[in-house]
A and B are shown apart, each in its own frame.
Chain A
Amino acid sequence: DAKTTQPPSMDCAEGRAANLPCNHSTISGNEYVYWYRQIHSQGPQYIIHGLKNNETNEMASLIITEDRKSSTLILPHATLRDTAVYYCIVRDTIMGSGYALNFGKGTSLLVTP
């Protein structure tokens, strides 16, 4: 799987949009971009994933650049409960079902009142 680079930490004011960047410059055509988050002492929570097109669900939006070398996860109206470590993962689904997810270090997002 391609390597990802994320800033170690970010702050966001409650109610504002949180934009979390991820660089994956070596991504290949078969690789999806996945985002998870982990709130302290809990299991990772799936947020969203995409291949080429921008994606939106009830939790967030995922913007992938045209060259696919980077992406941004957007939490449109951050709340205090969004404080967590956010992981950007690039995964080749052609590798098969048993492929472990490489979570890396992620971005620690702090949402402040």
Chain B
Amino acid sequence: DVKVTQSSRYLVKRTGEKVFLECVQDMDHENMFWYRQDPGLGLRLIYFSYDVKMKEKGDIPEGYSVSREKKERFSLILESASTNQTSMYLCASSLSGTGGQETQYFGPGTRLLVL
């Protein structure tokens, strides 16, 4: 079974703090994704990575950065946390390819509260 783990289930941070969210997958997937999920807005893609050290902006990258130094690990960084970044953060991973191979598998999520 694919396993995607996230470093924390719940986090409480203060405005202005630097926040690190980590995601690890154990299936040797090339692609990794960070989404945020907010009520009424669905899932929105923040960043994705298709290889080590490679990254692409998603729909809402402002205020975030990412790091992928190893294939299995993808980190999301909030450079200076703000209250509007309070959200559920979801990491996903997938193989590269076509023909339905690119199924994305999700981690359990991190619920971040910024005070």
Task: Name A's B-contacting residues (CB within 8 A).
Answer: 32, 34, 41-46, 49-51, 93-94, 97-105
Contact = CB atoms under 8 A, between A and B. Distances in A.
Given A43-B90, A100-B35, A100-B43, A49 B111 contact: no
Contact of B100 (A51, A99, A104): A51
Majority secondary structure, A binding face: loop
Interface string B77-103: 000000000001010001011111111
B61 to A, nearest CB: 12
A84 to B, nearest CB: 13
Contacts of A51: 100
Q: Which 3 A-B pairs have the closest CB atoms?
A: A100-B45, A43-B106, A43-B109
B50 interface: yes
A101 B107 contact: no
Contact of A42 (B4, B101, B104, B109): B109
Nearest to A45: B106
Given A97-B30, A98-B48, A98-B50, A44 B106 contact: yes
A44 B98 contact: no
Interface residues of B, number: 32
Contacts of B31: 97-98
Nearest to A93: B98
A25 B75 CA distance: 38
A46 B59 contact: no
Interface in B31-61: 31, 33, 35, 42-45, 48, 50, 56, 58-59
Nearest to A36: B106
A105 B42 contact: yes
A65 to B, nearest CB: 18
B108 A100 contact: no
